[in-house]
Amino acid sequence: MSVSKKKHKRVTTNVLRTLKERGEKIAMLTAYDYSMARIVDDAGVEVILVGDSASNVMAGHETTLPITLNQMIYHASSVVKAVKRALIVVDLPFGTYQGNSKLALRSAIRIMKESGAHSVKLEGGREIKDSIERVLTAGVPVMGHLGLTPQSIYKFGTYTVRAKEEEEAEKLIRDAKMLEKIGCFGIVLEKIPAALAKQVTESVSIPIIGIGAGPHVDGQVLVLHDVLGITQEFQPRFLRRYLNLYDDIKGALSRYVEDVKLGDFPNEKEQY
Ligand code: KIV
């Protein structure tokens, strides 16, 4: 059991800041449903992200763009029912906050009211500053997301590493400082050079959570289905798989099919 797990009952945004100050790493994972969220929470992660990656791993879409606010609320409310300890962050989906701060506020309030989650995450920097500020004024904690922001995939054109060039790296640092200044409680940095992530982490007092951003950040986040080896095609360098559940589940289910076909299931003890 980690030090943080023993000391804190509910993880709050203040707890995350304390962990950063103490130099204790923060573990964050995604979850989208009740059953998995229970396991993720029990495993001791500090933050559970109801990510719009649900669009990929739960709904089978190629990108995160199609998922709707109602669908995010459905996933988030399932997760909320399961979680006792972790802070729950919910992604505002594409089209529910960009360029319209009133819409952003309405979307964030719907998530908080209808799911019972604790905070929201928005992708982008200066270009969505108004939206973030408006959400913050309602008392909704906001996490930022910079670097590779999958909702902008059609602008980038590829999922390759971001901010390798000086101009983009400088903008990213400026955006991180701006997010801290306006009151975000943390920032996800996705797929950027490790040296840049280190520089950002040292320049702000709020926790920086990396995904494909190297080790010199305050914590790490991964997509649950990737960690468990349920997704097979997705094999980026930054991913560490802890299980190969695709093969394990397939093997178990093939045995079930065989037992049914052979008439071995149910046996005498498995009936009334
Ligand atoms: O939607 C998601 O899962 C995310 C993580 C990749 C950080 O935003």
In terms of DSSP H, where are the helices of the chain? 3-7, 13-22, 34-42, 54-57, 69-82, 101-115, 129-137, 153-156, 166-182, 194-203, 224-227, 245-262
Locate the ligand 1 atom nearest the alpha carbon of residue 123 and give its number: 8
**Angle at 29 (CA atoms; ends 28, 35), nearest 5 degrees:** 130
* CA atoms of 179 and 268, how far apart (whole Å): 63
Q: Which helix (H) or strand (E) holds 147?
A: strand 142-147
Confidence of residue 80 (pLDDT cuts 50, 70, 90): very high
Domain ranges of the chain: 13-241, 245-272
Pick the CATH number of 13-241 from 3.40.50.300, 3.20.20.70, 3.50.50.60, 3.20.20.60: 3.20.20.60
Tell me the CA–centroid distance for residue 147 and ligand 1, in Å: 12
The amino acid present at 30, given as its one-letter code, is T
Q: Which burial class, exposed, middle or buried, applies to 264 when counting CB atoms under 10 A from its CB (0-12, 13-18, 19+)?
A: exposed
Q: What residues have CB less than 8 Å from 183, skipping those under 6 apart? A: 133, 136, 142
Out of 67, 221, 222, 225, give the residue to mutate to test ligand 1, the one with the largest number of ligand atoms within 8 Å of its CB: 221
Q: What's the gap in Å between 51 CA and the centre of ligand 1?
A: 5
Q: What is the pLDDT of residues 22-62, one digit of tens each?
A: 999 999 999 999 999 999 999 999 999 999 999 999 999 99
Residue nearest to atom 8 of ligand 1 (CA): 51
Cα gap 196→164, rounded to integer Å: 9
Task: Report the catalytic residues.
Answer: 190
pLDDT at 7: 47
Q: What are the pLDDT digits (tens) for 187-245?
A: 999 999 999 999 999 999 999 999 999 999 999 999 999 999 999 888 999 999 999 99
Instruction: Please tell me what DSSP assigns to residue 270.
Output: G
pLDDT, tens digit, 9 for 90 and up, residues 51-71: 999 999 999 999 999 999 999
* Residue 28 three-state SS: strand
Nearest CA to ligand 1 atom 5: 51
Instruction: Kindly report whether the global pTM for this prediction surpasses the value 0.85.
Output: yes
Q: Determine the distance separating the centroid of ligand 1 and the alpha carbon of 234, expressed in angstroms.
A: 14
* Strand, helix or coil for residue 219: strand
Residue 259's contacts (CB-CB under 8 Å, 6 or more residues apart) are 265
Q: Which atom of ligand 1 is nearest to the CA of 53?
A: 1
Gap between the Cα atoms of 94 and 89, Å rounded:
16
Supply the residue whose CA is at minimum distance from atom 4 of ligand 1: 51
Query: Which residues form the pocket of ligand 1, taking CB atoms under 6 Å from any ligand atom?
Result: 30, 49, 51-53, 91, 188, 190, 211, 221, 223
Which residue has the least CA distance to atom 2 on ligand 1?
51
